[in-house]
Amino acid sequence: MIRRALVLLIALCAAVAAHAADGLSGTYQPVDAGNAAFPADAQLVVRAEGRGWLAMFRGEGLALLPLTAMEQRGLFPGIGVEARLQCAYSRAFLLCRVAPGTEFADKGFTSKTGYFTALSDDRIFEMRRVD
């Protein structure tokens, strides 16, 4: 009986930790909608799935996989651990969460909301979480 309760407690703690680590699931809209990359009604829906996430944009789904800390440092040098950078990538874009106000000096970008997407052509777009 005690063993079963202990196993249940460990499983519950693991589930809570996994949920807390998932800072990317949500619904997003670009801050500057209506530009060349995003139509005015653009909405990105991201849900945890498997070892990553599923991103849905205008009816199409893309798998997002987490970037390692080393990969993130390579893409965004100079961003310290205090920024709590978390990124996932697909074949089309990156989705990242970071502490609001974090400056990416080499990219000429400061994240005001704490969420952004980056496209393969080095364009970065501020996103806002709407859920």
Q: Where are the domains of the chain?
A: 23-129
How does pLDDT run across 25-52, given as a tens digit for each residue?
A: 999 999 986 666 677 778 999 999 999 9
Average pLDDT over residues 52-70: 94
How does pLDDT run across 85-129, given as a tens digit for each residue?
A: 999 999 989 999 999 999 999 889 999 999 999 988 778 999 999
- C-alpha Rg value of the chain to the nearest Å: 17
How does pLDDT run across 1-21, given as a tens digit for each residue?
A: 555 433 333 433 333 334 336
Instruction: Confirm if 25 and 33 have CB atoms less than 8 A apart.
Output: no
Residue 27 corresponds to which tokens in the numbers above?
Answer: 């619904």
